[in-house]
Chain A
């Protein structure tokens, strides 16, 4: 979840009415967000990622004002449709970063607080919701420094003075040496004749997009009019971002004017300022939430969440605000009404029960086998399913069979590279870490193991047990194993086996209906050395999935 940090003084200024910290925190919590801290200078709020319109002080204050019924009009409109400036879009950009939107904002009085808020917001928005500027990037320029018309296209290497730079630099240089160039460089496809998205006016480069603006059009405290460009890979989100920004500037008392985007002679105006309308029956709202609300109350709740709403027969007509990205179907509005109503006020209603509950058969049996193992004096261990080749094979004196284990692609931990194929190595790890504890030590585990066989993934449940004791020997584990199998009424034969993890002549396979279902034996001293175990150790492992046919598998346990 993103956390936003707002200048508390600016935030209170925007709210326009006085409210104490406690009350403010309460209102924000009711909206569904969490205040992580309020200080003298800052307020930190954790916000759900579906509401980028609240990532800044203007949007957040708008939401609080709405919620506290301090808003009279919920509509955001741009009165004049005449474009303030033209952006023509070239052909070459279409394959790289196809979509662009924009606007002009006049009559602003940018001071330190409001400018800092804008810059922080745009960075946060483009890094999170804009997926590190790939999907959406925003540029902001001082309009008075621009000589239109503008051109948006992809260009070969050119030079300009980047924001806060001292001298002109080539695009290619900025990509390599500038902090932003390094961070966002992979949004521009590489190549021998690399083409760079850029915005130009008649005097030259305004921005290398989505990397850095020119120093020439830098916005600073006192700037009164802005040109905003929004570019990206998704037409819908680029346009929607323009709508959201226009709403934001209108709330900042700016006067927003449209720009014309011209491609192949055809012009469209931006921002589009599209607002969706949805009709939802009151009964549906009430039935989804599980409370009786009433039509008047629904309208008031809708207003709290920023929707203009009207009664239309037995339905409510909702006008979805221009700045909202996340309203996809009527369920999204239901949620907003529920939030405004307050989750805490929703009374529990029981669902009638028609059917008996049940555990899976395999769970029941596993639970019984665990009881049996406890009866034999083994405590239950639990281990991670992750392992590495060294633990699973090498320490066990085994060679890894090819193409049989599931391998991780991108683990952050070098000690985690694959999924375990058997459980005994995990248990020996437990014993190795317990060498200072009282003997005898007996542990077991029933859980999953992972193998690939015949191009199929086998997620098999194994039972494994180990026992360490100065007097432990082959017969002790044979006794437990045979006791267990006969208690479970499994018919079995034992055959001498050869397994490198165990002492030769002290290991046996257990077969049932001519399938090897498991093995037991006395662990090889070299294996014990490898795990730091100092006393004789015995163990067994049985494939329960195979034994009970919990899934189609023709696989016998491998050592």
Chain B
């Protein structure tokens, strides 16, 4: 027996069945020699080789482009979400392709010259088109692994998004009885494969030789159950806060607008309060502010500061918080309130942080989410300065590996106002991650000699894009596809 044949049989004996690739990497003698050996071995029946005609699906350049962005019909749906479209306005090549397929797939229909979305179109707009997911799979794995989808291949083919090629290929190789006999004869004495109880017990292993495993053989890697990357990240940030003496606080998601806007001195005609940016609720539509004293004091501050009317009703509209600063605001008012009532045994400075989801009424795409995480911090104390604020922020975000810098900015509730930026190694530039400052006296209602409050808020998801290399889109974070979860790296 030739040494290459022996090598091939050796590898095959240790494994029930192998693909050609596995056999080549397992035998480490190179593809040509393995093929030569297999030919000889199969001629004399020492191995069984199963061949298949294989379809190979290749993605085209156009397909790749769509896989990375959106299919034309999906782009059309995105536009349709903003309103109906006059069919006559669809002029570009891609727009027309989108139109054709949206109709074919029953994602949209024409009524009186305008294009409207079907129920199915709505679902696809929200969840993404199956064809594109398949294109994605093909782009990554060279094929679609979801068998039930294969019926879509001819369609993708007809759209020139994929090409299908057929060829004969060795699929699996298995050693035969003859092959086993051949190698046993060559090897002589029997070696032990799987260790078991009877070999271990009573020293029966003595004198037995164990068969070698090939350390380079390819195995399928085990999947770990993992925490979500956002949990890992927020745990890191929480640890940094706690290390600097911050206590965690939390608060409601559904709030009267008082706690999100008015209590933070955002004027009632501020553009951020408008319908297009904020989720207001149909049910419940109004929520009472229980803390009526605070509400009255803040109302007066608005009239004085913004030189106009202040409407109590408008401060009780039910909404989803647009920042966790509402939690900070509640905390500030509760502490300042008890100070005003004479409580003085606070161990200043008091430090609090919160972490939670916030909501913006956005059209969702790979860059924008309607809900995302924000973390807020406040420090309540005497004589606190911008220099203190900068120190705290550099320490917290430095501890998760971020280089931090500051720039003047404006938010209605702080003065001085600060934009917090971190350095992105990816782009080589500074990226805005949040705002900070010293809370306005109109909000605390207490003189600076007694108290000042440092505050900041930072969006969390952006850090993840900065520190994990294989996350490209924010919307992936909440898709929680199993394959995506399984491919996370620990950072």
Chain A residues close to B by CB (< 8 Å): 29, 31-32, 34, 48-51, 128, 131, 135, 234-237, 284, 287-291, 328-329, 331-332, 334-335, 338-339, 343-344, 346-351, 353-360, 362-363, 367, 370, 373-386, 403, 405-416, 419, 429-431, 433-438, 441-443, 445, 448, 450, 452, 457, 459, 534
Contact = CB atoms under 8 A, between A and B. Distances in A.
B177 interface: no
Interface string B220-254: 00010111101100010010011111111110111
B362 A385 contact: no
A287 B228 contact: no
A289 B390 CA distance: 10
Interface in B327-351: 347-351
Given A50-B410, A288-B386, A406-B254, A349 B391 contact: yes
A49 B448 CA distance: 26
A47 to B, nearest CB: 9
B127 interface: yes
A331 B447 CA distance: 12
A327 to B, nearest CB: 10
A56 B308 CA distance: 26
A441 B249 CA distance: 34
A377 B225 contact: yes
Nearest to A342: B408
A379 B347 CA distance: 41
A235 B81 CA distance: 41
Interface residues of B, number: 103
A29 B419 CA distance: 12
A380 B305 CA distance: 47
B39 to A, nearest CB: 34
Given A32-B409, A357-B245, A438-B223, A412 B231 contact: no
A101 B448 CA distance: 37
Contact of A351 (B235, B243, B388, B412): B388
Contacts of B357: 385, 448
B441 interface: yes
Contacts of A377: 225
B114 to A, nearest CB: 16
B131 to A, nearest CB: 14
A534 B148 contact: yes
A351 B381 contact: yes
27 contacts: A128-B271, A131-B269, A234-B307, A288-B438, A290-B387, A339-B408, A339-B416, A348-B394, A351-B349, A351-B379, A351-B384, A351-B392, A353-B244, A370-B231, A379-B226, A379-B482, A379-B486, A381-B485, A384-B369, A409-B285, A410-B275, A411-B279, A411-B361, A413-B370, A430-B481, A441-B482, A452-B284
Contacts of A443: 480, 482, 485
A237 B269 CA distance: 13
B347 A354 contact: yes
A380 to B, nearest CB: 4
Contacts of A237: 307-308
A335 B417 contact: yes
A380 B227 contact: yes
Contacts of A459: 252-254
A136 B284 CA distance: 34
A338 B416 contact: yes
Contacts of A370: 227, 231
A445 B384 CA distance: 40
Interface in B268-303: 269, 271, 275-276, 279-285, 287
Contact of B281 (A235, A350, A408, A413): A408
Nearest to A355: B245
Contacts of B242: 357-359
Nearest 5 pairs of A and B residues by beta carbon:
A290-B387, A290-B385, A32-B408, A436-B146, A415-B126
Nearest to B246: A357
Q: Identify the interface centre among A29, A437, A534: most chain B CB within 10 Å of its CB.
A: A437
Contacts of A383: 478, 480
B483 interface: yes
A331 B481 contact: no
A332 B381 CA distance: 20
Contacts of A48: 408-410, 417
A516 B374 CA distance: 33
Nearest to A325: B307
A343 B406 contact: yes
A331 B438 contact: yes
